[in-house]
Amino acid sequence: MADNKDSMMPRGPRAQWQAMIWSFQGLRAAWLVESSFRTEVVMFLVLAPLGWYLGQTPVEQVLLIGSPMLVMAAELLNSAIEALIDRYGPEQHELAGRAKDMGSAAVFVLLVNMAMCWALIVGPQLLAV
């Protein structure tokens, strides 16, 4: 929920706590209804420890671990777009289809980014063996 427009004060602890609860509700909803999100979480659970181990510098570790996290974030946004469009009905509309396709494309672009990060960082290590 957006902050109150009349207040420039930072959120208090109670509001921060509520925002965290809403975030966990969103993660739970995505886990329960989005098979792509579940797949990406499993992929992250496999790749994160490998990224921690195979990254030779902190920057490499951040790239190897962060790239699958970006994929999950894009999947959450894509799922939110799809849910919002589906909320307004099943009829086909060019703009609704375009929005869904663009959300899917965002996930795809970040999957390609992740593959490139892993190939460029881990690939030379595997070829040197």
**Tokens representing residue 93 in the block:** 């509309």
For the cut 80, the answer to whether the pLDDT of residue 2 exceeds it is no
Residues 40/69, Cβ–Cβ less than 8 Å: no
**42-71 pLDDT per residue, tens:** 999 999 999 999 999 999 999 999 999 999
What pLDDT band is residue 5 in, cutting at 50, 70 and 90? low
Is 94 annotated in the active site?
no
Q: What whole-number distance in Å separates Cα of residue 97 and Cα of residue 104?
A: 11
Q: What is the mean pLDDT of the chain?
A: 93
- Domain map (residue ranges) of the chain: 35-128
For the cut 70, the answer to whether the pLDDT of residue 94 exceeds it is yes
Share of residues in the chain with pLDDT > 70 (%): 94
Residues 71/110, Cβ–Cβ less than 8 Å: yes
**Residue in 40, 60, 75, 94 annotated catalytic:** 75
Among 27-31, 71-75, 89-93, 99-103, the minimum mean pLDDT is found in: 89-93
Which architecture characterizes domain 35-128 according to CATH?
A: Orthogonal Bundle (1.10)
H helices of the chain, in order, are 13-33, 35-54, 58-87, 94-128
Q: How far is CA 118 from CA 36, 41, 47, 99, 128, in A?
A: 20, 17, 10, 29, 15
pLDDT of 49 reads: 98
For the cut 80, the answer to whether the pLDDT of residue 22 exceeds it is yes
